[in-house]
Structures are given as structure tokens and as C-alpha cells.
Amino acid sequence: MTDPRDHLLNFTAVGGVSGWTMPYWCYMFALTLTGVAREWFEKLPDDQISSWDDLVAKFSQHFSQQRKHNRDASEILSVIRRDNESLENFITRFNNESLNIGGISEDMLRGAVRVNTRSPEMVRCLTGRDGMPQTWDAIMSAAKVFAAT
């Protein structure tokens, strides 16, 4: 129930490093499937798969609805601290969302966290007399320390 591309990338990395032959790839791939993916594979008619590329295409097509969709970087602007959400929980959620969205510039992250925390005290603490830290890692470290106090 995850992105089929993720599963295929992980599997092909293992197969490539292990030096498997193509028939072995197909056999081993079937062993990695669980749940609905295993049921799908077991219900394939005999001789339906003619090659590894054919298996990859059919697997990818059948589970295409599970693919991750690219998100626009501006979506980070809508990740706002909820009423009664602790600062620590918000920072964790914000960080996770930024990783899931991807491709967000550090400038946009700094601006979004500054506004979306809805904590003027934290922003004052972070900016101090030298201004907001310039790297995302430094901001997150300082925000976590502030949230823990």
C-alpha cells in the first residue's frame, strides 16, 4: 500500500547488488509482496508475465493510485500551528510536512515557520539580536530547545 516506485527502487537496488539473474529477480520479487499486492500477483494468469520489464510495467500500472504525487512547495504556507497544539508537536509536524512536500527553499521554510508557529515569543528568541539563523538545521535546533523549555 505504498508507492510502487519506492518498492521497485528498493528491490532493484538489492537485486543489482546481489547479482541476481533475471528469472531470479521475478521469483524474489514475488516474495517481497504482501497483502493486496501478493493477492494481485497470485491471481495473475499463468504466462501473463513475459519479462522483468513486463512485470514492472504491470505492477506499476496496477498500483499507480498509490504513487506519491508531487506537491507544490507553497503548500508549506498552509501548515499552521493548531489551537492547543504544543510548540514541540507543531515543530515535528512542520518538519515532517516540509520533508513530504520537498523542494522548499530555506528562505521559504524560515518565513513559514516564523509566521506559522503563531508564537511571537519563539520568534523573538530565535531572531535574537543577530536575526533568524541562516540554516534550517540551526532554526530547528533552536526551536526544539525553546519548545522544550
39-58 residue pLDDT tens: 888 888 888 888 888 888 88
Q: Tell me the C-alpha distance between 25 and 28, whole Å.
A: 5
Q: Tell me the C-alpha distance between 59 and 128, whole Å.
A: 53
DSSP string for 63-123: TGGGS-----GGGGGG--PPTT--HHHHHHHHHHHHHHH----HHHHHHHHHHHT--HHHH
Residue in the block written with cell 528568541: 125
Q: Tell me the C-alpha distance between 124 and 128, whole Å.
A: 6
- Residue 63: closest CA among 41, 31, 45, 48: 41
Q: Is the pTM of this model over 0.75?
A: no
- Residue 77: closest CA among 55, 101, 43: 101
Q: Is the pLDDT of residue 71 over 80?
A: no
Average pLDDT score over residue span 20-42: 84
Q: What is the widest separation between alpha-carbon atoms in the chain? A: 71
Q: What is the pLDDT of residues 94-149, one digit of tens each?
A: 988 888 888 888 888 888 888 898 888 888 887 877 777 878 888 888 888 888 87
Q: Tell me the C-alpha distance between 108 and 77, whole Å.
A: 8
Q: Tell me the C-alpha distance between 107 and 88, whole Å.
A: 21
The answer to whether the CB of 92 falls within 8 A of the CB of 57 is no
Residue 72 Rama label (left phi>0; alpha psi -120 to 50; beta)? beta
